[in-house]
Amino acid sequence: MEDNSKIILGVDPGTKITGYGVIKTLNNKHIAVDYGCIRPPQKYPLSKRYFIIFDGIEKLIEKYKPHAVVVETQFVKKNVQIALKLGMARGSIIVAAEKNNIPIYEYAPRKAKQSVVGNGAASKYQVQKMLKMLLNLSQDPTPEDAADALALAICHAHQMDFLNKIRT
């Protein structure tokens, strides 16, 4: 019997905490495979932290063999330095996926929240509660960065389901 399930790795990038969430999806049913965070030591220079993020994502790719890597698009407030640092963290993730020939998809935080909660302005608390229900978890996924990464993975799964329905 053919397994048509897909493994999706969602990633919420950050230089202090990079959240990840791995789901297995089939026919709009999703199972949380793994989730957590990569936490480079803050005392390390940024170049070393970017490498730790790259290395951590690459290890997740090797372990779970995802069909897609989904990265949160950059959310820029007013601080250009933070935007640049976050962009470099995103680049580390994208390079890890590209090195392993994994397709990369990007979604805005509002799109992921909309996909999971039905409201693009949902709070992190609401996202965690809904993920607990959707993924049949015994507790809310924590930390918030891991929950955001799971939401990104589910967002992409919904997008794939939608595109498949259009094609058929």
The residues carrying an active-site annotation are: 12, 72, 145
110-135 CB burial, b ≥16 within 10 A, e <16: ebbbbbbbeeeebeeeebbbbbbebb
Distance, CA of 152 to CA of 106 (rounded, Å): 9
Instruction: Dig out the tokens for 75 from the structure.
Output: 């959310």
Instruction: Give the rounded distance of the alpha carbon of 47 from its chain centre.
Output: 22
**Are residues 79 and 37 in contact, defined by beta-carbon separation less than 8 angstroms?**
no
